[in-house]
Amino acid sequence: MAVQIRSAVADDVGLILSFIRDLAEYEKLPHEVVATEERIRNALFGPHPFAEVLIASDEGRPVGFALFFHNFSTFLGLPGIYLEDLFVRPAARGRGIGRRLLIHLAQLARERGCGRLEWAVLDWNEPAIKFYRALGAKPMGDWQIFRLTGDALEKLANE
C-alpha cells in the first residue's frame, strides 16, 4: 500500500492534537501547546472552519499531517495557502511523505487559483530548510515575522 493523503474529518481531532504535540516536542516548544480537542474541533470543524488538515498514512497508519489556511496577496490579487504546520513522525521520515504532503498542497493551491504557497521554518531546523530548498522554495530573507499574543494582543485590542 502506498502513502495515502486525505482530508481530515472531525473524528481525527484526537489524532491532529497528537501530531501537534509531537511537532511541539520536535520544535522544543511543548510548553506552548494549550490546544484542546474541543478547541481543535471548533476551529477546524465548527460552523466557521479556520483551517484545514491533511493526514498522511503509510500502510494504513497515520504518520504525518499538514495544517493550512487561506491568506490573500494584495499584490497578486489572489488567494494563497499558508502552511502552518507540516510534521512527519520521525520513524516515517525519509520516505517522501513530507514531499507528498507538499505536492498535495501545491495541487490544491493550483486548483483553488492561489498565487502562492508559503510557510515559516525555525532558523535552527536545518533538515527542514534543506528539504524546502531542494523543492525550489526560497527563503524570504528580507521579511521578518511579527506576532501579537497574550497580554500584548489584549492591550492593543483594548485601546
Cα separation, 71 vs 78, in Å, equals 9
Cα separation, 129 vs 24, in Å, equals 17
DSSP 26-56: HTT-GGG----HHHHHHHHHSSS---EEEEE
Radius of gyration of the chain measured on its C-alpha atoms: 16
Residues annotated as catalytic are 132
